[in-house]
Amino acid sequence: MAGRKLSIALEEGFLGDRVLIRVGGHLLAELEDLSTRVQIGLARTVEVELPDGERALSIELPDKGVSATVALDDNPPAYIGVSVADGDALTVRSGEAPPGYA
């Protein structure tokens, strides 16, 4: 998995949120005041490089006490979409094709 890039789309339900993205406990991104643009259903897309040997991606909204962990295997997906559901849970989807936004 060396050098594999991962595109993380932070999609529906974000409203002024602080978001932490970690792989194997290593902080890869910290985003402040993140809100979904209702017109396109997207708050932000983040590109990260996966460190060698790491097997878990974590998306956290620490101010809401909400997080989700995605297990990564030897062939991780190229794209992950994350949405906030009902303000207190994260839903995650993954795939090889980029999501389409208006």
Placement of tokens 């060698």 in the chain: 52
Q: Is residue 101 part of a domain?
A: no
Q: How confident is the model at residue 1 (pLDDT cuts 50, 70, 90)?
A: very low
How high is the pLDDT of residue 22?
93
For residues 46-57, give the mean pLDDT: 83
Residue at 56 is within a domain: yes
* CA terminus-to-terminus distance, the chain: 31
Tell me, yes or no, whether 99 lies in a domain: no
Is the residue at 17 inside a domain?
yes
Give mean pLDDT, residues 6-32. Answer: 93
The residue segments making up the domain with residue 22 are 5-93
Question: What percentage of the chain reaches a pLDDT higher than 70?
Answer: 90
In terms of residues, how long is the chain? 102
pLDDT higher for 17 or 72?
17
User: What is residue 98's predicted lDDT score, i.e. its pLDDT?
Assistant: 62
Number of domains observed in the structure of the chain: 1
51 falls in which pLDDT band (50, 70, 90)? confident
Query: pTM score > 0.85 for this model?
Result: yes
Given the structure tokens 């980029």, which residue do they identify? 98
CATH of residue 18 = 2.60.40
Q: 74: buried, middle or exposed (CB in 10 Å: 19+, 13-18, 0-12)?
A: exposed
CA-CA-CA-CA dihedral for 19, 48, 74, 101, to nearest 10: 80
